[in-house]
Amino acid sequence: MAYEFSVITQEQAENIALNWHYDGEYSFYDMEADEEDLAEFLNPEERGNSTFAVTKENELVAFLSFSQFADRTFDIGLGMRPDLTGKGNGIEFLRAGINFIQSEFKPDKITLSVATINLRAIKLYRKFGFKDVETFIQDTNGSTFEFLKMEYKCLLYELTNGVFR
């Protein structure tokens, strides 16, 4: 069965934020690890319509959020339910998420930032076709961490003014 994307409900956001806890170094991604991120994720006005619950067979399995920039770039954030990580589900989930963003919003490129300690995710993103752009330092979760910004150039085959782009 395919992944389904719908604007996240408050109940789903609370479930993710308060109940999804990752093991070991991945606990970095627990929503409760950063008070600002937690408050933003739990606030329906902050989330707007740009955070999606991802379900499979009517079960909440992940989330996907995005910010849109003027140059048709979409910056995404995503997370999979902790008990589903590290089991080979990532490529199918990432493909579904990218396909969803491309079909709904027609971006020119998609970017994301990942903590450099998350080698598993970096390997997945590279395998999918994301390219490294730059590393940067960011204060979050009560400390300072290094992140890798990555970019995926979308291939759109739509006719615009008589020209394929």
Cα 45 to Cα 6, 8, 107: the distances in Å are 16, 12, 24
As a whole number of angstroms, the distance between CA 114 and CA 25 comes to: 13
Q: What is the pLDDT of residues 97-153, one digit of tens each?
A: 999 999 999 999 999 999 999 999 999 999 999 999 999 999 887 778 899 999 999
Tokens of residue 87, six digits: 């089991």
As a whole number of angstroms, the distance between CA 80 and CA 63 comes to: 7
pLDDT given at position 147 = 96
pTM of the model: 0.89
Q: What are phi and psi of 32, to 5 degrees?
A: -70, -10
Domains of the chain: 3-164 (3.40.630.30)
Cα dihedral 122, 126, 131, 135, rounded to 10, equals 10
Q: What is the pLDDT of residues 42-83, one digit of tens each?
A: 999 999 899 999 999 999 999 999 998 888 999 999 999 999
